[in-house]
Amino acid sequence: MQANNPSLEMLASLYTGTTVEEVIGLKALDPEMKANDPNAAGLLDERDSLKDLRKEFRLPTNKGIKATSVADDLQEEPCVYFVGKSLGPLAKRSQELLNEELDIWSRIGVTGHFDHPMQRDWMTLANKATKLMVPIVGANEEEIATMGTLTANLHLMMGSFYKPTKERYTILCEIKPFPSDEYAFASQAALHGFDPSTTVVHLMPRPNEHTLRTSDILDAIKEHSSSLALVLLSGVQYYTGQYFAIPEITKAAHEAGALCGWDLAHAVGNVPLKLHDWNVDFAVWCTYKYLNSGPGGIGGLFVHEKWHKEKGVQYAGWWGHDEATRFQMPPVFQPIPGAQGFQQSNPSVLNLASLLGSLEVFSRVHPTDPMSVLREKSIRATAYLETLLRSTRFFVGPHDGEKVLKGQVMTGDNKPMKGAFTILTPRAKEERGAQLSLLFGEEAMPTLFAEMVKRGVIGDERHPGIIRYAPAPLYCSFEDVRKCVATLVEVLNSL
C-alpha cells in the first residue's frame, strides 16, 4: 500500500456542494486564499467572534507540560491544548468562585448552607448549575440533576430502567465502549442473574471500517427486538469520536419495545443536545471534559419527564428529599419530583463552584442556546484540522488502518513510511464533534506523542496507535490548529 497526497480539490469532495474554504469560513474573508495557506489561521482568528473567550481560561503552559523543545522565551506561553475531551482547562471564573467559597467556609463555616454572603447558599447551589445545564443538554430543569459521578449515576439509572425478564434482557451497546460502561453493563446483567457474555451485545463496524453505520445500528435493533431490553450507547464514542444519531436510534429502540439511554461524557458541551425533544429515556454525563469542571468533577443525569411518576427512586438519599422538609429530618422519604429526586448525598460545594465558573462562560456565548454558537465554530475548526492533516504526504485512507497500525504503509519507492497515519473519526460533520482520532503505527505512536508534547502540542494517547486531538471551540484557536499540524509534520519528517 502506497501513501498518497490528496489535493484541496479532492478534499472539497468531502463537503457536498461546497468547498473546504467555504466550510471553514475562509472564502467569505478572502476568496483567493486557500485553506493550506499559512496565513489562513490568522485571518480566521481575527474574525472569530468567540476569540475573546480564550482569555477566560488558564491554559496550561509549555513549561507546565514540559515542552522542552520550545524556546525559552515561549515557555510561559500557552501550549496547544487539544485534550479537552479528557480534561478541560481551568476557567478563571472557576478559580474565582473556588477561592470565594474557601474564604467563606473559613469565615462563616456551616452557616454558608443557608446564609451565604454572596447569595450562593450551599443548600441550593446545585440548582444554579442545573439551570445553566438546561440549554446545554436540551431538557427541562426538572429533568436534570447535577449530582454524583458518571458511573455511579449510570448504575442508578440502570437500576431504575433496566428491568430484564426471561423474554427481554439484551443490552445493546457499541464495541469498545468506555471501560467503566462495559463494567457497569456486565455487573448489572449479572446482578439480575444473566450471563454478561450473552446478555451484552456489542455492535461491530463492517470489515475495514472503524465506525458504525447508522443503518447497521438500526438493523441490529430490529434483529434483537424480541429480546431487547435496553439500547445504551455513547453520544460521542470516546475512542473514535463518532457522534451517534441519537434521535434516530432512540426512536428505533422505542419501536422495538426497548428503552434507550445514553452516556454523554464526550457529548455534553461538545455537540448540541435535545434530550427532551428526542424522547431519550435517560442519560448520564461527567462535566470535567468539554464542560471544564476540573479533575473528577461532579456528574449529571437526565430522566425524561414521561417517567417521573412511573420510575420511582430505588436508592433514596437525603439530598433527593423534598427541599422544604429536608432539614427537618423526617423518617419517610419524600422525593423531589423528577430527576433531582435521585440525588443521594449533599454535593461537594467546591466541585459545584468549579463547574459553575465554566457554565457561566457558556452562558456568555449565548444565554439560551450556547451550543449552536459553539457548534458552528467547532465544525469549522475540526474541518480545518482535518483538511490540513489530509493534505500532508503522510495521510492514507482509513480503509488501510490495519496496515498503518502494523507499519506496513510503503512510500512511492517501496520503502516503509514510518510516519503514515489515518483518521478514524467520520468525515461527515453530523457524525463527529470537536475531536479527530488519528491512528499511527503501533510502535511509532508513543515516540510521536512524546515529541509532540516536547514541541508544545498535547492531545492524548490510546493504545494501540491512537492520538486524539480536540480543537474545543471555547478556548482553542485556528492558529492552534495550524501549529498542531505543522508540528506533526515536523515530527513525522524527523522519523
DSSP of 62-127: TTTTT-TTS-GGGTTSB-EE-BTTT-PPEEHHHHHHHHHHHHHHHHHGGGGGT--TTS--GGGHHH
Ordered mean pLDDT values, 10 residues apiece, the chain (495 residues): 45 60 94 94 97 98 98 98 98 98 98 96 97 98 98 97 97 96 98 98 96 98 98 98 98 98 98 98 98 98 95 92 94 96 97 98 96 98 97 93 92 87 97 98 96 98 96 98 98 94
Q: Which three cell numbers stand for residue 447?
A: 515516540
**pLDDT for res 412:** 81
Q: Cα 169 from chain centroid?
A: 29
291: left (phi over 0), alpha (psi -120 to 50) or beta: alpha
pLDDT of residue 4: 47
Distance CA 297, CA 127 (A): 16
Q: 195: Cβ–Cβ under 8 A, 6 or more apart, which residues?
A: 189
> What does the alpha-carbon distance between residue 484 and residue 342 come to, in Å, rounded to a whole number?
43
Q: Are 317 and 344 in contact (CB under 8 A)?
A: yes
Contacts of 117 (CB under 8 A, 6+ apart): 104, 108
Coil, strand or helix: which one is 152? helix
Q: Give the CA dihedral 445, 448, 453, 459, nearest 10 degrees.
A: -40
Can you list the positions of beta strands (E) in 369-472? 421-423, 436-440, 457-458, 460-462, 466-469
* Separation between Cα atoms, residue 189 and residue 259, nearest integer Å: 15
pLDDT at 18: 79
What Cα–Cα distance (Å) separates residue 235 from each residue in 21, 29, 219, 313? 29, 34, 19, 25
Return all residues near 468 (Cβ < 8 A) that are at least 6 apart: 83, 85, 86, 241, 435, 436, 437, 438, 459, 460, 461, 462
pLDDT of amino acid 7: 42
- The three cell numbers of residue 62 are 509549555
- Report the predicted TM-score, pTM, of the whole model to 2 decimal places: 0.94
